[in-house]
Structures are given as structure tokens and as C-alpha cells.
Amino acid sequence: MKIVVCIKQVPDTVEVKIDPKTGTLIRDGVPSIINHDDKTGIEAALRIKEQTGATVTVVSMGPPQADVALREALAMGCDEAYLVSGREFGGSDTYATSGILAAALKKIGYDLIITGRQAIDGDTAQVGPQIGEKLGLPQVSYVEEIQEVAEDHLIVKRQFEDGYHIIKIKTPCLLTAIAELATPRYMSVRGIVEAYEKEIKIIGFEDLKDDLELDMIGLKGSPTNVYKSFTKEVKGAGTILKDVSAEQAVAAIIEKLDAKHII
């Protein structure tokens, strides 16, 4: 079985800056990490590898510096890594990104694709399912447990808002991972050394252009329009009522709500 895990390098901070003209994140000078849910997906793939002898390939779309995240994945135990990178891809929204990654995955080949549920810098949870749709694959989102792995199918447990689903899915397929699926392992010293001896294979625009919607890539080809982007405002200090009875507290709250014309 060939498992491909899609990962994203994201800012390692909540204090991100936003370009007011494009509505995109300014990543220069901000430390980056592998997105949390994606790292969970790596761990799930590595456990399947240990159980079945599968191979694990990791793929990331981003600028050249994203190779740091790919080498971390290799140091964790992944077998090979691909960086999908090109100026033509810059500023892509979820639709454009999923189309580019789907084209890359066709070239790489797969039996099972694992993505994180969502990225901490965008929180859309759209790219994984969109890749599945563009590749015509059956998919299960919010996977919290992989119960069985066979040559032609998997049985997984899917988190649901008021319970869970047990789903049997034929391969090839796509899963999106949540934090409960697995706790990521640390890199090993030997793994780190070997990771920097391995080649990061580059897939660029010229490699994919025949499989792309050329008018639907990059910032200009992204159908998502950002009306306004802004950082979270710091809330002012609240009012604390001390040494008052329940009746006095209720009266004070009602007075405040009335003053703000809420009631």
C-alpha cells in the first residue's frame, strides 16, 4: 500500500500579520511548524506502515523553505517527500490549492491519501475533501480511529457531533485526520541524519500544467474573495462584582443590559 500524507507548513504563532491589500498572511520572519492535524496524519500513516509494510510519502505545497517541514516528516519515518512549488501557485485559495495538489497526487500515485482536518492558519477544513472530489475518491472526514487496514478497504471510526460512525471504505480513498487519531512521535537522531541525506523531489508548474485549470490557480485564479481581514481585537477588562448577594448580582446585570439596550 502506498500512503500519501498531505501536510502544510503553518506559522508557529497566533500573532500573525495580514497583508491589507491581498488579505493573505505575511509569513516572512514568522517561525513555522507542521500543521497539528497534518502531523497526526503522518503518525497514523507511520503506524499503518509498521503494521503492514506500506510506504509513506509526504507532500507539501509551498515556497522552497517548506522543505524544512518535509525533512521533519522524513525524520519521523516517512520514506520520501515531494515539494509542490512554483510562483504560479502563490496566493492560491482552497479551491486552487486542492486542484494543484490533486494534479500532483496523480503524478505521485496513491492507495490511501491522508490530510489533516484543517490548518490552523485558515481553519476552513476544505482542502482535503476538495482533493477527494477532484480525484473522484471516496472519503471520510474527521477520522478519530483506523480500526482495520486491508488491501482493498479500511474500516474507520468517524467523529460526529452527537456520536460516531463506523465506516468501511474501499481503497483508493482519502481520510482527514483529527487530533484524537494519534499522538505524533518525536523525530529520532538517526531519522534526522537520514532525512538530510534524502532528496526532496520538486514538482513545479511545468510538471503539472497539463492537468491544471490554468485560470484557476494562484491568487488571480482563486474564486475566494476576501472582503476584509483583521487581527483579533483585545477585549477590555470586564466588571467583577464582589461580596454581593445573588439578587444584587442579578439586578446589576439587568441594569447593564438595559443600559446597552440589549433588553
pLDDT (tens digit per residue) in 215-241: 999 988 888 876 766 666 677 777 788
Helix then strand then coil, in percent of the chain rounded to 5, is 35, 25, 40
Mean pLDDT of 245-249: 91
CA atoms of 76 and 68, how far apart (whole Å): 13
Contact 66, 85 (CB under 8 A): yes
Read off the pLDDT of residues 184-217 as tens digits, 9 standing for 90 and up: 999 999 999 999 999 999 999 999 999 999 999 9
Report pLDDT digits (tens) over 40-72.
999 999 999 999 999 999 999 999 999 999 999
To which CATH superfamily is domain 2-216 assigned? HUPs (3.40.50.620)
Give me the residue spans of the domains in the chain. Answer: 2-216
| Burial (CB count <10 Å: 0-12, 13-18, 19+), residue 147 | exposed
How many C-beta atoms surround the C-beta of residue 153 within 10 A? 14
**Distance between the two ends of the chain, CA-based, in angstroms?**
61
**Secondary structure letter of residue 66 according to DSSP:** G
In the block, cell 481553519 appears at 123
**Stronger pLDDT, 82 or 261, i.e. the higher one:** 82
Q: Rounded CA gap, 218 and 95, in Å?
A: 10
Is the whole model's pTM more than 0.85, yes or no?
no
